[in-house]
Chain A
């Protein structure tokens, strides 16, 4: 009954305010912080393509748990994706509390923002806008990752860009993520008074510089990475759907042909390669045999 009364009165039977708003504010920040840091890591992993296709492939396999499951299992990625998606939904629900709820609010804010030209106010609008955009952009991406984790790879991901026509979405998502994330981290710092030191004003000016540096860094990294995938996607267009074979495996494969001439391995079947790669990763044959 007390829930009914509390919901009706807006305060507890003892006349106290709910602690929920504090928790909501806290969790909005906590989920935001997690997602921002997660996206840093994500960006680094995705950009492994800039090193080499093999490296990216290895990173992918790592997330499939290759070090403790023989051959790895993409289901692990699905689970991770599900967790992240849940956190995003929580963050979105909490963040929505701050959005303009109707046209009056929207117009009041826009007029104010344009009239005052105050940087942090404008940044908030960008943050809210990109957050809103990500409801859709990130959902599209995550749904694919959730359902087809096994397609992640140097060719699979690249084909997704070009052949599956996803690059426009990824371009927008990249912009949204980097702006939203870096502004969000800056805002978290000033909101909770992190790194404040003796002079909050100086700290804030520095934080702002760091924020822009981070935005610039990740945007450049992200755009380059996207370009790399697109380039691969274009080159690989005619073989779309074909999976990547790590260089080491090709060598292994060649060796296996040499050592067991009777065996005929179909290049297009997936499973044997997995096993081979797994062995390669365990360090037995990875290097050594020159071509």
Chain B
């Protein structure tokens, strides 16, 4: 018999005229190794069929389930209930994104906009012949590119960013990291001048106030601090 835990979830449907925002409280028995995915699924199955939230892979790979857990943005699927000693867990949707309902926010739309804004794809004029041997790449460079390619667009860096909350047009750590990723990629022929056109303003790299909540909360432990600093140095050095 596990202990009883209390989950308080913000319930609100902005599309409904009658919906009023409130915290709904649910009591349930904790099971061994219970994650918020397990807890919320159980709540929906047994206590409240109407509670909305997003999960996909439930393994911390897809980045769907970012939410504010006791005030801090986390991937809910990787958050264990046993880590909350008093057994009370408050859940809120991530700020900075459009609220769909309850704990569900529209990260997809925002991330697609971000991808378009920083032109998140390889820019090249070469059309390699795919029947021929591929272009060799230095193994270390490939690994460094991969390191930055591990971002799962969960939106936690964005939700954690005070700058972004004040200034809705701020590109966020995810966008700055993406630029650093393509700058690293030898397949991409863009120059720093090109990258400046994407993020060289106060909504981009020069708007960042180095609050570093992105770095401190990134579930993939991406080197955001270093990479943002690196891009800033490179873009400031341009004539």
Contact = CB atoms under 8 A, between A and B. Distances in A.
Contacts of B73: 116
Given A115-B71, A118-B216, A121-B162, A191 B206 contact: no
Given A19-B196, A108-B95, A120-B212, 7 more contacts: A22-B236, A112-B95, A116-B71, A124-B211, A187-B210, A190-B225, A191-B208
Contact of A21 (B72, B167, B206, B239): B206
B136 to A, nearest CB: 27
Interface in A1-52: 16-19, 21-22, 24-26
Contacts of B202: 21, 24, 97
A124 B210 CA distance: 9
B200 interface: yes
Contacts, number: 92
A195 to B, nearest CB: 11
A200 B226 CA distance: 7
A100 B166 contact: yes
Contacts of B200: 17, 19, 21-22
Contacts of A16: 197
A contacts with B: majority SS? helix
Interface of A: 16-19, 21-22, 24-26, 97-98, 100, 105, 108-109, 112-113, 115-118, 120-121, 124, 187, 190-193, 196, 200-201, 204
Interface stretch (B18-26, B30-38, B99-107, B227-235): B227-235
A190 B229 contact: yes
A18 B233 CA distance: 17
B226 A25 contact: no
11 contacts: A18-B201, A19-B200, A21-B201, A22-B206, A22-B235, A116-B213, A117-B72, A120-B212, A120-B213, A124-B211, A190-B229
B211 A192 contact: no
B226 A193 contact: yes
Contact of A191 (B165, B210, B217, B239): B210
> Would you list the 8 A-B pairs with minimal beta carbon distance, nearest first?
A193-B229, A115-B71, A191-B210, A105-B166, A25-B206, A21-B206, A108-B165, A200-B226
B238 interface: yes
A200 B200 CA distance: 24
